[in-house]
Amino acid sequence: MEVVQIQRNLVDYTKSLFMEGFLDGQFLQLQQLQDESNPDFVAEVVSLFFDDSQKLLNELTIALDQPIVDFKKVDAHVHQLKGSSSSIGAQKVKNACIAFRNFCEVQNIEGCLTCLQQVKLEYYLAKNKFETLFRLEQQIVASGGSIPMIEMGF
Amino acid sequence: MNTSSGKGYMSTASSSAGWKAADTAATAVDQFPAGLRVLVVDDDPTCLMILEKMLRTCLYEVTKCHRAETALSMLRENKNGFDIVISDVHMPDMDGFKLLEHIGLEMDLPVIMMSADDGQHVVMKGVTHGACDYLIKPVRIEALKNIWQHVVRKRKNEWKDFEQSGSVEEGDQQLKQSEDEVYSSSANEGNWKSSKRRKDDEDETNERDDTSTLKKPRVVWSVELHQQFVVAVNQLGIDKAVPKKILELMNVPGLTRENVASHLQKYRLYLRRLSGVSPHPSDLNNSFMSPQDATFGSLSSLNGLDLQTLSATGQLHAQSLVTLQAAGPGRSTGKSGLPVPLVDQRNIFSFENPKLRFGEGQQHVNNNKQMNLLHGIPTTMEPKQLAGLHHGAQSMGNMNMQVTSHGQQSSQNNSLLMQMAQPQARGQMLNDSSLGHDPRLVSPMGQPISSNGIAANVPTRNGIQENIRAPSYNLVSQSSSMLNFPMNYAWELPVNSFPLGSTLGISSLTPKVDFQEADIFNDLNQHKPQNWKLQNAGMTFDASRHSNSLQGNLGHTQPVLVKQGFSSGQVNGQNRNAPVVSKAMFSSGDSTGQVNAQNGNQCLNSLLVDGTIRVKSKTPISLYPDHFGQEDLMSALLKQQDAAAPAEHEFDFDGYSLDNILV
């Protein structure tokens, strides 16, 4: 496939992610931070996010599995997850966290468990999307092209 | 590290050796805000990485940290290593607000809080804990681009405080220069940094590590050191003795101009005290320094002062001198030292006015006489009284203190009171005023009173001013002034600032004072509220300092000052927040401007240079500390701030309080 084609695919794909709400304006901020001195910045940050979030999700699973749930602890984890997901622009994950926190506040275990499932789902979906995105980018770079900057009306 | 452009600012600042040079400032200006040294603390690695990248993009120098404890130890190890700190609110090992408090207290750096939590109460918490800003995650780079403003702002305030407390002359010069610069604040910053560094380097005798310019390193004034000091002062002539020259003459390594300045202030207060004026500032000074220092200082100054001086004032002085000497250097606590001076003052009270002996000038002399009367009022504030007065008649004490404590102020008073040769007095005072931290403007008070046609006051004022020279304790002066003159309140008003002295001694006098004050204030206010204000301001400042050290009871300590943060114009507040006051004084450079504006007195203005004291004297309300709690003061202060109207009795440091609060 030609580089131009891949680039076009990337642009389209990225746009669709925005449209669907997977990504928000914060992701653009990240992209703007990427430059020649740091060509893999976005990929690095995103992968860092997913590694870190995985740990948080595990902690959450364990915490909610306790006979007596420590909601404060659960809330702290969710809060952090919310913060980091919002920082990379993973909007759906962030929104799921917000809902999760509401249930924590009222100490609703069922609600929390449901939310946890939701967050996990969003997490994996987002991970998937990002991986596709980066794969496209790598293809472009491998073909000698440059990654096109997305012009969004944010 | 000047490899990157970001470092240019730093290197510039560190390379500038002395007080700001125009070119140094210019360089700093060119580079700034690039190279701003930011410490970012967040347990979330994703956010941390993003923030670091964003800050680097802004050309800042970034250090990141996962844990609050690590960040704190980094800051402690390298006190001057960072310009600003950005911290997350929710962290596992330490609450972000706690870290904020620590940093504010220990390093006094601007701190920006951030969180995904945008709840109002959380943001409010940030404000109350002293954060200079609060960012909501996800943080955008635009938000980070302007964080340098917080550094500049803080530097500017600290610079003013710094220069006020320490180097009025130099500060003025620098200010002037910096004002010419485009980025005057950054220039100040550079200067401040370099000067601070120099000071830190030079200060070998620091008893503790002060990271903030607001906290002066403690110097122990040994007998020899004091003797050297006295010799230098006498050599220069008490009128011409400015800290800078004294420092040069003394030629003591490790001694800073500020040390000398504050000691000079105490010395002057002492002299005043001897002459019968109640040196309120001296008390503050004493308190500011360790009790030992204070005591010692006063004692030694007595010793060193010269019997001549003492004898001049009269037998009492001699008596007190003897007593003091006996009590002497051996005295370890400021408190113990206090009683002595108190007694002296009482005695002094009867003497006409010894202050002249130091050649403060005719004006002073005249004043002294009168002041003696004031001083005469025995400050029967024994230490325990002091304790009791805690929140008491601060105003009373303050007033006295203020009047006497500042050399500067004294000149003011003199000039004001005497209404003669004011410019002269002022000139003298100005020199004197280059004292350290206390921008006390006691003198103004005198005038208003006299203008009111209260003859008694006038003399008192002068006397008061004179007293300033002597490093007397606030207490003494307070009581004296109070007793002698009904107008005492006038002095008292300024007293507000002097929490320790005034409260203690004043408690007994308070009722009287308050009453009088009310009357007097009204009169005064009409006449020269400004002047009065200045005095108060000065007092406050001094008071806080003194109170800290003097009163063990009060339990005011330097740290307390910092925390208090309220100086609120109220007298009450001041007393209580003595420590704060001093801090406030430092931090609110703005006040000075305000005072000046309000007063419109040239002399006052000049005196005000260092003093941010905003004396908005007016209603005696402030005089009744009892009525005000901290919250009251705070709200009052805030109100005053909002009001932005000098009309209130603001001895206070409106400017200060706000700053303090944040701290």
Q: Is the pLDDT of residue B292 over 60?
A: no
Single-letter amino acid code for the residue at B550:
L
Question: How would you class B233 by CB atoms within 10 Å of its CB: exposed for 0-12, middle for 13-18, buried for 19 or more?
Answer: buried
Contacts with B, A 94-153, CB within 8 Å: none
B565: left (phi over 0), alpha (psi -120 to 50) or beta: left
- Confidence at residue B69, expressed as pLDDT on a 0 to 100 scale: 92
Angstroms from A78 CA to nearest CA on chain B = 11
Distance (Å, whole) CA B148 – CA B441? 34
Residues forming CATH 1.10.10.60 domain(s) in chain B: 220-276
Nearest Cα residue to B325 out of B292, B302, B293: B302
Residue B133's φ and ψ, nearest 5 degrees, are -165, 165
Residue pair B85/B135 in contact (Cβ under 8 Å)? The answer is no
B90/A41 touch (CB, cutoff 8 Å), yes or no: no
Structure letter (DSSP) for residue B328: T
- Identity of the residue in A45, A80, A82 whose CB atom sits nearest the CB atom of B50: A45
3-state secondary structure of B134: strand
B58-97 pLDDT, tens digit each: 999 999 999 999 999 999 898 788 999 999 999 988 999 9
Distance from A125 to chain B by nearest Cα, in Å? 19
Give kind and range of the element (H or E) at residue B37.
Answer: strand B37-41
A62: in domain? yes
Closest-CA distance, A132 to chain B, in angstroms, reads 20
Interface of A with B in 49-68 (CB under 8 A): 49, 52
pLDDT value, residue B275: 74
Contact: B138, A45; criterion CB under 8 Å: no
Torsion of CA B497, B498, B499, B501, to 10 degrees: -160
Domain-embedded: residue A152: no
Where chain A has pLDDT below 70, the residues are 151-154
User: Quick one: closest CA in A to B50, which residue?
Assistant: A45
> How close is the nearest chain B Cα to the Cα of A153, in Å?
16
Inter-residue long-range contacts of B596-600, CB under 8 Å, 24+ positions, other chains counted: B598/B529, B598/B530, B598/B533, B598/B646, B599/B444, B599/B528, B599/B530, B599/B531, B599/B533, B599/B534, B600/B530
Please state, in angstroms and as integers, the Cα–Cα distance from residue B446 to each residue in A24, B209, B457, following that order: 66, 39, 7
Rounded-to-integer distance, Cα A58 and Cα B161, Å: 52
Task: Choose, out of A36, A80, A91, the residue to mutate when testing the contact with B (most B CBs < 10 Å).
Answer: A80
A23: helix, strand or coil: strand
B93 contact residues in A (CB cutoff 8 A): none
Q: What is the pTM of this model?
A: 0.43
Query: Is residue B46 within 8 Å of residue B54, measured between CB atoms?
Result: no
Between CA B622 and CA B493 the distance in angstroms is 8
- Residue B162 CA from chain centroid, whole number: 9
Q: Which amino acid is at B510?
A: T
Q: Do B137 and A86 touch (CB under 8 A)?
A: yes
Residue at A153 is within a domain: no
Please check whether residue A29 touches B, CB under 8 A: yes
How far, CA to CA in Å, does B389 sit from each of A12, A140, B38, B501, B510? 76, 79, 45, 8, 9
Name the residue among B269, B464, B463 with its Cα closest to residue B369: B463
A45 at the B interface (CB within 8 A)? yes
Residue % of chain B over a pLDDT of 90: 11
Measured CA to CA in angstroms, residue B208 lies from A152, B402, B556 at distances of 56, 28, 17
- The tens digit of pLDDT for each residue in B108-150 reads 889 999 998 888 999 999 999 989 999 999 999 999 999 999 9
pLDDT bin (cut points 50, 70, 90) of residue B265 is: confident
Q: How far apart are CA B101 and CA B85, in angstroms?
A: 12
Identify the sign of the CA torsion B126, B127, B132, B138.
Answer: positive
Query: CA of B76 to nearest chain A CA: how many angstroms apart?
Result: 27
**Residue A147 belongs to some domain of the structure:** no
Number of CB pairs < 8 Å for A and B? 59
A154 part of a folded domain = no
What the block records as the tokens of A127 is 């991970």
Protein fold of B220-276: Arc Repressor Mutant, subunit A (1.10.10)
Topology of the domain comprising B33-161: Rossmann fold (3.40.50)
* B53/A33 CB distance under 8 A: yes
CATH for A99: 1.20.120.160
Reported as type and span, the H/E element at residue B543 is helix B529-550
Among B5, B41, B44, the strongest candidate for a mutation testing the A interface, having the largest count of A CBs within 10 A, is: B44
Mean pLDDT of B594-623: 40
How many structural domains comprise chain A? 1
* DSSP 8-state class, residue B621: G
Dist CA B418 CA B462 (whole Å): 7
Q: For residue B243, give how far its alpha carbon lies from the nearest alpha carbon of chain A (Å).
A: 52
| B380-410 pLDDT tens trace | 444 444 444 444 444 443 444 443 444 344 3
Q: Would an 8 Å CB–CB cutoff place A82 in contact with chain B? A: yes
User: What is the ipTM metric for this complex?
Assistant: 0.93
pLDDT at B472 over 70: no
d(CA B277, CA B309): 13
Average pLDDT over residues B4-19: 42
Nearest residue in B to A78, CA atom: B116
Residue A117 lies in a domain: yes
Which residues on chain A are in Cβ contact (under 8 Å) with B138?
Answer: 26, 29, 83, 86-87, 89
Q: Which domain, by its residues, includes A94?
A: 3-34+41-141
| Range among B41-50, B440-449, B604-613, B618-627 with highest mean pLDDT value | B41-50
Determine whether the interchain pair A87/B138 forms a contact, defined as Cβ–Cβ distance below 8 Å.
yes
